[in-house]
Amino acid sequence: MEQWSYKTVKYKTGGFLGGKVDEEEFEDLLNSYGYEGWELVSCFDTSVSQGQSRDVVAIFKRKV
């Protein structure tokens, strides 16, 4: 039976009220985990108010 390890990473958004994502920085973050063998399985944002995001949460997995 395959076994998995999971990792949750929070990426803080920028801007005065949040919600701004530096795409290059975020891509570099995702790639750094990919190079370590982590596979992205889910990604979502957390709401503050009126549709603005505070964090982007990425969930990774890799075989143990």
Q: Give buried/exposed letters for 24-39 (b at 16+ CB in 10 A, else e).
A: eeeeeebeebeeeebe
pTM of the model: 0.84
Give the separation between CA 42 and CA 24, rounded to whole angstroms: 19
Q: Would you state the structure tokens that stand for residue 43, as one six-digit string? A: 């990604």
Alpha helices in 1-64 (DSSP H): 23-35
Quick one: pLDDT at residue 14? 86
Q: What is the pLDDT of residue 48?
A: 75
pLDDT in tens, 4-61: 999 999 999 888 777 788 999 999 999 999 999 999 999 998 887 776 778 899 999 9
Which of 3, 6, 58 lies closest to 28 in space, CA to CA? 58
Q: How far apart are CA 41 and CA 12, in angstroms?
A: 19
